[in-house]
């Protein structure tokens, strides 16, 4: 082989090696970025008390769930790591405490004093306990003494007698209509495309009626397919023409029918007509007048990439406030007050989004929950806006929407402070320039909890959080007569 050709080949081989290495490095970097932005795997849990989601993490190729994240919405949890051991005490509402013990890297565990073999090793990471997802049904059956159903492929877990089966029925009158009946009211998101209406149930424990796919002998509505995936359920109704859906019976019935034909084109010379808004067909039975409701919206601050304050290196504010929010919700429910959570999992919501969602929900009261590792006790904040004599009706300026509600906000905050005082919890009531409080068009206050004593991690202790939650709920219950009730 001539020398020039050898040199040329050597150059090519070296160049190829260097370039390939660089390309691989670049691809790895890109895939890392994509992995970071990929949506998190989540498990949806339906229980008689609430519906919530639990993030799943991958450990050694298996999917794991956090014990505290799973159990906290269902009762009081006290968990602590002691070396390689992890001790858990779970108290369901109105029941006795149940204890469990796990060891890092071991399959053997002890639940309620009995040996229990896990389907994989227990994992302890940063003081938090994780179990393989295959263990979830057995664990909950033992800890809650309730029957559980787990749909692993769909990542949906049902605790107790919550699954709701729906019924399908075609009625042929002048035009075909499909009636879908549910045991309780549902609020799915609805997507329509030519020949399809798709219902997505995120919060309802809707399960298959028995057959996942049904065919109808009807010229308009030809079938329906039920499926579960990614922690939600979907019902796809198929037709031969554009379809539309309407609700009846207080949300317990969905009626699918042919969509009305589009209005005929209007000649350009003609005056612009008043096009009537497309209306849903009236329900088959008269609606009962809506009952005024009192809804308290609880907003656990931060979430997702926004961890808030680092209470300790392994305890972010976002986790402390979510646990507290669930306790407050439970305490309010125990007092007969409906309460919703702005987030019930580790998701990021911008400050403006929080205000928009809160205002759309038209709550009687909005509570933002925060936590800090500075100071002591509990601080209750109302908006720093100067009081203005403005009407709460009609449009309100975005930046000062809260000004119209300052009196009621102050009354609710004062009532909560009085309950904190009654429980001998150190507290103070202040005004603060806290976002997004000024944008909330409802009575609103914020609560920031700090550790009760010298030890910072006591902020997450169940006893302390329970006392704070009870104070908040009792304070709200004391002023419920003053809070505005709205019709849904």
Partner 1 sequence: MTRRSLLIFAALLLVALGLAFYALQLKRRVARDEQLAAQQQLAMPPPVNGPPTAVTLYIASDSEGILRRTEANVVLPSERTERARAVLRALFGQYLQTPSAHPIGAGTDIRDVYLLADDTAVVDTNAAFADAHPSGVLAEELTVASLVVTLNANDSKIQRVKILVNGQERETLAGHADLRRFYLASNLGQVAKDLQ
For the bound state, the minimum distance from the C-beta of residue 322 to partner 1, rounded and expressed in Å, comes to 15
Tokens 């709205």, residue located: 486
Which secondary-structure segment (H or E) carries 328? helix 317-334
- Does position 260 interact with partner 1 (CB under 8 A)? The reply is no
Which of these segments, 116-124, 167-175, 215-223, 444-452, binds partner 1 (CB under 8 A)?
444-452
Taking the C-alpha atoms of residue 106 and residue 130, their distance in angstroms, rounded to an integer, is: 12
Q: Taking CA 291 as the corner, what is the angle to CA 183 and CA 369, rounded to the nearest 5 degrees?
A: 85
Number of C-alpha atoms within 13 angstroms, CB side, residue 122? 24
Nearer to partner 1, 68 or 434 (CB): 434
**Binding residue for partner 1 (CB under 8 A) from 431, 456, 478, 486?**
431
Taking the C-alpha atoms of residue 43 and residue 157, their distance in angstroms, rounded to an integer, is: 7
Q: Find out whether the peptide bond into 436 is cis, omega within 30 degrees of 0.
A: yes
| Interface positions, 81-140, toward partner 1 (CB under 8 A) | none
| Interface positions, 211-250, toward partner 1 (CB under 8 A) | none
Taking the C-alpha atoms of residue 365 and residue 332, their distance in angstroms, rounded to an integer, is: 12
Contact by Cβ (8 Å): 250, 291: no
- Does position 375 interact with partner 1 (CB under 8 A)? The reply is yes
Taking the C-alpha atoms of residue 334 and residue 399, their distance in angstroms, rounded to an integer, is: 35
- Does position 262 interact with partner 1 (CB under 8 A)? The reply is no
Taking the C-alpha atoms of residue 84 and residue 338, their distance in angstroms, rounded to an integer, is: 41
**Binding residue for partner 1 (CB under 8 A) from 112, 202, 376, 482?**
376
Report the 10 Å Cβ neighbour count for 265. 6
Taking the C-alpha atoms of residue 412 and residue 264, their distance in angstroms, rounded to an integer, is: 55
Contact by Cβ (8 Å): 102, 129: yes
- Does position 399 interact with partner 1 (CB under 8 A)? The reply is yes
Which of these segments, 169-177, 190-198, 371-379, 471-479, binds partner 1 (CB under 8 A)?
371-379
**Per-residue contact string for residues 6-25; x = within reach of partner 1 by CB under 8 A:** --xx--x--xx--x--xx--
Taking the C-alpha atoms of residue 278 and residue 257, their distance in angstroms, rounded to an integer, is: 14
Nearer to partner 1, 79 or 416 (CB): 416
**Binding residue for partner 1 (CB under 8 A) from 64, 381, 405, 445?**
381
- Does position 328 interact with partner 1 (CB under 8 A)? The reply is no
- Does position 373 interact with partner 1 (CB under 8 A)? The reply is yes
Strand partners, 258: 243
**Per-residue contact string for residues 302-321; x = within reach of partner 1 by CB under 8 A:** x---x-xxx------x----
Strand partners, 448: 370, 379
For the bound state, the minimum distance from the C-beta of residue 15 to partner 1, rounded and expressed in Å, comes to 5
Nearer to partner 1, 439 or 470 (CB): 439
For the bound state, the minimum distance from the C-beta of residue 356 to partner 1, rounded and expressed in Å, comes to 15
Name the 3-class secondary structure at 192: strand
- Does position 59 interact with partner 1 (CB under 8 A)? The reply is no
What does the binding site for partner 1 look like in residue numbers (CB under 8 A)? 5, 8-9, 12, 15-16, 19, 22-23, 26, 301-302, 306, 308-310, 317, 351, 370, 372-376, 379, 381, 384, 386, 399, 428, 430-435, 438, 446, 448, 450
């Amino acid at each position: 082989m001539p020398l020039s050709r050898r040199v040329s080949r050597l150059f090519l081989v070296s160049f190829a090696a260097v370039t390939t290495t660089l390309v691989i490095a670049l691809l790895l970097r890109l895939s890392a970025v994509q992995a970071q932005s990929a949506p998190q795997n989540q498990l949806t849990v339906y229980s008689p008390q609430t519906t919530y989601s639990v993030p799943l993490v991958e450990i050694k190729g298996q999917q794991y769930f956090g014990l505290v994240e799973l159990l906290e919405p269902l009762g009081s949890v006290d968990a602590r790591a002691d070396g390689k051991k992890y001790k858990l005490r779970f108290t369901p509402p109105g029941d006795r405490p149940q204890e469990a013990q796990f060891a890092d890297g071991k399959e053997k565990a002890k639940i309620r004093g009995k040996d229990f073999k896990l389907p994989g090793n227990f994992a302890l990471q940063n003081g938090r306990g994780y179990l393989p997802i295959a263990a979830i049904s057995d664990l909950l059956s033992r800890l809650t003494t309730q029957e559980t159903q787990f749909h692993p492929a769909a990542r949906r877990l049902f605790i107790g007698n919550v699954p709701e089966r729906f019924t399908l029925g075609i009625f042929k009158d002048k035009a075909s209509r499909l009636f879908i009946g549910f045991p309780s009211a549902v609020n799915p998101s609805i997507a329509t495309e030519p020949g399809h209406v798709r219902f997505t149930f995120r919060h309802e424990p809707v399960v298959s009626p028995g057959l996942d796919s049904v065919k109808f002998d009807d010229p308009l509505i030809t079938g329906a397919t039920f499926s579960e995936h990614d922690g939600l359920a979907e019902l796809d109704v198929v037709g031969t023409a554009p379809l539309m859906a309407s609700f009846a019976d207080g949300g317990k019935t969905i009626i699918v029918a042919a969509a009305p034909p589009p209005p005929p084109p209007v000649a350009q010379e003609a005056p612009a007509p008043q096009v009537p808004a497309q209306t849903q067909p009236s329900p088959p039975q008269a609606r009962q007048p809506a009952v005024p409701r009192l809804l308290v919206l609880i907003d656990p601050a931060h979430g997702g990439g926004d961890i808030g304050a680092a209470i300790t290196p392994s305890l972010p504010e976002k986790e402390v406030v979510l646990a507290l929010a669930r306790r407050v919700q439970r305490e309010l429910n125990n007092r007969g007050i409906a309460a919703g959570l702005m987030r019930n999992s580790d998701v990021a919501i911008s400050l403006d989004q929080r205000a928009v969602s809160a205002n759309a929900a038209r709550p009687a009261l909005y509570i933002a929950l925060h936590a800090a590792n500075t100071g002591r006790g509990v601080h209750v904040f109302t908006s720093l806006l100067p009081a203005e004599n403005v009407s709460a009706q009609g449009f309100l300026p975005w930046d000062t929407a809260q000004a119209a509600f300052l009196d009621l906000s102050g009354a609710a905050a004062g009532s909560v402070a009085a309950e904190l005082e009654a429980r001998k919890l150190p507290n103070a009531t202040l005004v603060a320039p806290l976002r997004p409080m000024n944008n909330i068009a409802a009575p609103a206050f914020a609560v920031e909890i700090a550790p009760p004593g010298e030890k910072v991690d006591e902020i997450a202790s169940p006893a302390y959080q329970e006392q704070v939650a009870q104070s908040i709920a009792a304070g709200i219950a004391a002023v419920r007569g003053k809070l505005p009730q709205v019709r849904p």
